[in-house]
Amino acid sequence: MSHTSSHPRVRPAGKPATSLQHAAQLSVIRTGAMLQDDFERMLAPYGLGGAQFNVLRILRGAGTGGLCRNELRDRMLTRMPDMTRLLDRMERSGLVVRTRKDEDRRMVTTRLTREGRQLIDSIDADAAREQKRRFRSLSDTQLHALIDLLQAVQRQP
């Protein structure tokens, strides 16, 4: 769908976007918030939020070696100002375990516990259903185009 008017309709109320770039930015932000809200609702029955799900997903991908806090923080989808506190809560919940290396006590590695691995594995089907539901109106070609366009924006300095 293309907008040819000088003021694309992207906001239900308030002033129109001041430029096409502004309209695009608003649309991306609004869509991202909507996707995140829907995904958080899907995660609620599991007792997780999006950040915790993301940590579990990242640690599963890291394998048995685990990751240090800074590596985890750098791989998160959203900025996490207090990764240590998040990991503290997840450790108390039995989802992750942290160990210090004997040779460098400052180096702490975080790994999934068996419970954490079982939880993230149990969410996979619901997560896939939610993603398919949200993007069901787009063809594979449109999805590839969307990904390409968003990556082009992400590459801008």
Q: Using H for helix, E for strand and C for coil, what is the string for the chain?
A: CCCCCCCCCCCCCCCCCCCHHHHHHHHHHHHHHHHHHHHHHHHHHHCCCHHHHHHHHHHHHHHHHCEEHHHHHHHCCCCCCCHHHHHHHHHHCCCEEEEECCCCCCCEEEEECHHHHHHHHHHHHHHHHHHHHHHCCCCHHHHHHHHHHHHHHHCCC
Average pLDDT over residues 113-121: 97
Total domains in the fold of the chain: 1
pLDDT in the model for residue 104: 66
**Average pLDDT, whole number, for the chain?**
88
Position 87 in a domain = yes
Percent of the chain with pLDDT over 90: 74
Residue 112: inside a domain: yes
Domain with 59 in it? 20-133
pLDDT value of position 12: 55
| In a domain? residue 154 | no
Nearest Cα to Cα of residue 32 among 124, 150, 115: 150
Tell whether 62 is covered by a domain: yes
**Per-residue pLDDT, 4:** 41
What is the tens place of the pLDDT at every residue in 2-49?
A: 444 444 444 455 667 789 999 999 999 999 999 999 999 999 999 999
Residue 143 included in any domain: no
Asked whether residue 124 is domain-assigned, the answer is yes
Residue 61's nearest CA partner among 101, 112, 130, 132 is 112
Q: Is 156 among the domain residues? A: no
Has residue 151 been placed in a domain?
no
pLDDT of residue 20: 93
Q: What's the Cα-to-Cα distance from 132 to each of 35, 45, 137, rounded to whole Å?
A: 12, 19, 9
Q: How does pLDDT run across 69-97, given as a tens digit for each residue?
A: 889 999 998 888 888 899 999 999 999 99
Q: What is the CATH number of the domain that holds 60?
A: 1.10.10.10
pLDDT given at position 80: 80
